[in-house]
Chains A and B, each alone.
Chain A
Amino acid sequence: MKHIGVIIELDKGRVKEANFGMITLARAKNVKLFAFVMDGQAERVKTDLESFGITTIVQVCLAPDQQNNPVTRAKAMIEAIQEFNISMVFGLSTAMGKDLLPRIAATLDAPLVMDCFFVDLEQKKAMTYQYSGKTIATIQLTGQILLFGVRPNAIEPVKAQENARILKSDSRHLVARDLRVIKSGGTEKGAAINLAEADVIIAGGRGMKNSENFKLLYHCASKINAAVGASRVAVDAGWVPYSMQVGQTGEKVSPKVYIACGISGSIQHFAGMKTSGMIIAINTDENAAILSNCDYYVKADALEIIPALTRILDNG
């Protein structure tokens, strides 16, 4: 029976929502599904993982001072992959996955496709977007061990109840020598809602006019558990930090709903958000490209619409 492994990402000890879609993708008949937990306690996430079909949970143990070291983490995962004879490894294409998965793949000299939204386990093919989201590429992987980075939110999670046992993979002997962690954003980060994993993103562009007006977006976003993004114009103007940029040279996102406020919708911006479930555009310019490539549009000033939306949410 084929052994497939999923690397679970936790947030404050709980399984991040995006993992469930990834597990759904990795599940198949005649496959033994392993979940690797490197942070937090396997016991605490057992129920959640069982409900999506995981039958074995592997707690990967690291030395305390190596917990945040990306090199040690990759080496520990390699030990676990080898120990449990895993032939396909799934992880999320999040900030953590974008570091961890290529490290594993490079060390094993194994193929890796990042940002997949579909994987055919039988045929060993992965689908991903290429050329600024203008094309869908199907990639054939060949090798003993294959790795896949799964785009968060790309797959609808489907439950499948199983019972799981917990095993340990002890990698406490590992120490990274050539890379040392000086300061780690660590696991307490979480505070800001992660763009790549958010269900709803409210993003602002030129139409926001200044940094102060972005507060309207933050306020509204906080009411619906949304993340706030921005177009390159807003970032280059210095209104918001680069980490908020959605687009070709920013985050690539696939939220369920993307609300674009005062964003014209350049090709480069679409490269980062065109795979959103629903796009709602609010723009005063009726010639803005985004109005012809969205699901709903409002010809109005986002600086009026967003506060009105917040008012309704405020009043429950």
Chain B
Amino acid sequence: MFPMADSGVPDYFFRLCFYGEQQMQVYVCVKHVPDSAAHIAILDQHRIDENISFLLNPYDEHAVTEAVKIKKKYPDSEVIAVCLGKADAERTLRSALAMGADRGILIVRDKNCDIRITALALKTTIEQDGKPGLIFTGKESIDEGGMQTMFRIGALFDFPVSTNVVKLDIEADKAVVVCELSGGITDTYEMSLPCVVGAGKGLNIPRYPTFPDVVKSKKKPVVKIDFRDLNIDDSLTGMRVVELKPLHQARQPRQIKGDAAAVAKELIRILKQEAKVLS
């Protein structure tokens, strides 16, 4: 029996995503990123010293959480976290597993990747692994902030894509998503399945793993794939960081003293004469 959608019609999502006896598969692409509080030191003028603490990209936590929510609704489905990174990125995959993903795939590569190559590696890996019913990413990574992986994966699969998704409903054979634009304004789209969803912060509140979750996650399978085995031509790189510099700021704080009225008067002067934002 297929589960029923809220509307009472048979849930085609399940049928659509059932391939023989295979489970419905939900893939979550996750990234191993430097902790935002970490000190960033630059090496060779173009890369960072990676001897700092790394974690699961914050937006990807929302992606994992949503995928696990879908699994609760469709218990036969499977949540697979996929990560492209160096060997130590396995820790980020384990975080995703502790948050409820069933298994992980780590595409191991010692060099950093161009976003186009990353998308191609993720697509190839997902395709080799199974038949995606849904693919999640975070809406952006907090390190490089490329904001485009989901669209590139979607284009490679020819699946529809939405990003900064803050609400997701699977209805019969489609996904209805609410995407946040600026200023709290939203658009609502309906996408056919399979589709790619870029998770925004408003999508859910990530469920942080308990100690038993962490213990359990250590027993979950993580498969390692060598990037070279994907046979991707990475000479076709289109974006390469040629220089990385620290952003130094030389602000010289000056204090404004006085009572509220005097301070306000001085602020007006600053806004008018120095910042020139008031006439």
Contact = CB atoms under 8 A, between A and B. Distances in A.
Interface string B244-279: 111101011111100011011101101100111110
Contacts of B241: 130, 137-140
Contacts of B276: 256
Contacts of B144: 130-131, 137
A113 B241 CA distance: 11
Interface in B157-207: 159-164, 176, 179-192, 195, 201-202
Interface residues of B, number: 78
Chain A CB within 10 A, most for which of B154, B159, B253:
B253
Interface in A191-250: 191-197, 199-200, 224, 241-245, 248-250
A interface, over-half SS: mixed
Contacts of A294: 251, 253
Contact of B238 (A141, A180, A182, A224): A141
Given A109-B116, A134-B246, A295-B252, A243 B182 contact: yes
B188 A309 contact: no
A22 interface: no
A293 B253 contact: yes
Nearest to B148: A102
Contacts, number: 250
A271 B33 CA distance: 15
Nearest to B156: A106
Contacts of A296: 253-256, 267, 270
Contact of B242 (A101, A130, A140, A268): A140
Interface of B: 34, 36-37, 40, 42, 48, 58-59, 116, 119, 142-148, 150-152, 154-155, 159-164, 176, 179-192, 195, 201-202, 237-247, 249, 251-256, 260-261, 263-265, 267-268, 270-271, 274-278
27 contacts: A98-B164, A99-B163, A99-B164, A102-B151, A113-B239, A135-B246, A138-B243, A177-B192, A178-B195, A179-B160, A181-B188, A182-B189, A182-B190, A191-B183, A192-B183, A224-B271, A224-B277, A224-B278, A248-B58, A249-B142, A278-B275, A293-B253, A298-B263, A299-B255, A300-B260, A307-B260, A308-B261
